[in-house]
Amino acid sequence: MNWHPPGFGGTRRDPEQVKRDGWQERGVLVIAEDDQRLSWPERELIRQLGAKLYGPRPEVSYG
């Protein structure tokens, strides 16, 4: 018998489906700052909203 409690085992939902469900079911919007489906002004708005609500993102240094 292969019984798993909800959220354990089975198949995973695609991350985009999780985002879509969050918006449709809970009104929670998850957007990547660099989502290429958005225009530059839309990405800039997302960056500004994120900074206003959660503070500036730390600078990332590679090396």
| Within-domain flag for 51 | yes
Contact 19, 34 (CB under 8 A): no
Quote the number of domains for the chain.
Answer: 1
Query: What is the pLDDT, as a whole number, of residue 20?
Result: 95
| Within-domain flag for 61 | no
Q: How many CA atoms lie within 13 A of 30 on its CB side?
A: 12
Determine the structural domain holding residue 50 and report its residue range. Answer: 32-56
Q: What is the pLDDT of residues 16-63, one digit of tens each?
A: 999 999 999 999 999 999 999 999 999 999 999 999 999 998 887 776
Q: How far is CA 56 from the centre of its chain?
A: 17
Tell me: pLDDT of 7 over 90. no
| Within-domain flag for 48 | yes
Q: What is the pLDDT of residues 8-26, one digit of tens each?
A: 777 888 999 999 999 999 9
| Within-domain flag for 22 | no
Query: What is the pLDDT, as a whole number, of residue 58?
Result: 86
| Within-domain flag for 16 | no
| Within-domain flag for 12 | no
> 1 pLDDT band (50/70/90 cuts)?
low
